[in-house]
Amino acid sequence: VLPFPSQVVYNRVGKCGSRTVVLLLRILSEKHGFNLVTSDIHNKTRLTKNEQMELIKNISTAEQPYLFTRHVHFLNFSRFGGDQPVYINIIRDPVNRFLSNYFFRRFGDWRGEQNHMIRTPNMRQEERYLDINVCILENYPECSNPRLFYIIPYFCGQHPRCREPGEWALERAKLNVNENFLLVGILEELEDVLLLLERFLPHYFKDVLSIYKNPEHRKLGNLTVTVKKTVPSPEAIQILYQRMRYEYEFYYYVKEQFHLLKRKFGLKSHTRKPRPRPEFFIPSPLETEEPIDDEEEDDEKWLEDIYKR
């Protein structure tokens, strides 16, 4: 038994900075000698019971310490008799995530002018150049539920109800965040996410921030930025907000937990003022202004408990 978490799963949410993080993990795995287990399957997040069993078996038998990464909804290892790994993940503002995905599927990124053709070879030209406002305002399937209910299932899990926009999936996702995820970060505060990962999982993430800030690495990261993005009209954005109500409630819940965690470990938040939100949303999360100085013992115990898992 290794004296640190030897099984880590990053079930990365699409278009939430995961390609940047995977670039870092490839460097870190060579630097620190852990087993980075990746998957060539990018478009199958929902699995049958047999597929879950098979994937869990394959992951669990990987050489430890390992970090497994794939776009896949939360898997409950203990349900199939396996040891529950430490989970990590990153999410972002739901509308921004949706827009990034919408244009990435059509036009790709700076790594190659034609790489989007490989990802969506059967997309018709009229669909590829469909105006984002038309898609939203005229209620095309790609711009309406259940397609917009995207982030929550990554944390809710494989149960069929996890794919239905509603309170049940939302609450189950929150529960899993609390009970099974060591850290769920916010892409808008990626440097702080990396700092906390280095603190919590140094055997995997030591020096990650210095690598991320290296100019050569930043050049590589810039190549993964989606091209040809445009901003929808205010009316269209307001409709997206309404359709993504549960996604936003989850996002702000995670953001609040992340800020509380940052405060525990003395990190201040220097974030841009958030855009105004429709009044149906939950109250604004706690903003991190000053670090908490009187909980060091609890913090260390919390980390010790994680390392005992």
CA–CA dist 154, 74 (Å, integer): 5
Q: Please give the angle made by the CA atoms of 208, 210 and 211, to the nearest 5 degrees.
A: 65
CA–CA dist 126, 275 (Å, integer): 32
Q: Helix H segments across the chain?
A: 18-32, 49-60, 94-107, 115-119, 125-128, 132-137, 153-156, 167-180, 190-200, 202-205, 208-213, 215-222, 234-243, 245-264, 296-307
What count of Cα atoms within 13 Å lies in the side-chain half-sphere of residue 124?
Answer: 3
Instruction: Tell me the backbone φ, ψ of residue 180, rounded to 5 degrees.
Output: -125, -10
Give the tokens for residue 98. Answer: 């949706």
Give the tokens for residue 68. Answer: 């497994």
- Which residues touch 301 (CB under 8 Å, ≥6 apart)? none
Give the tokens for residue 254. Answer: 């995670």
- Number of residues assigned to the chain: 309
Which are the catalytic amino acids?
Answer: 71
- 3-class SS of residue 218: helix
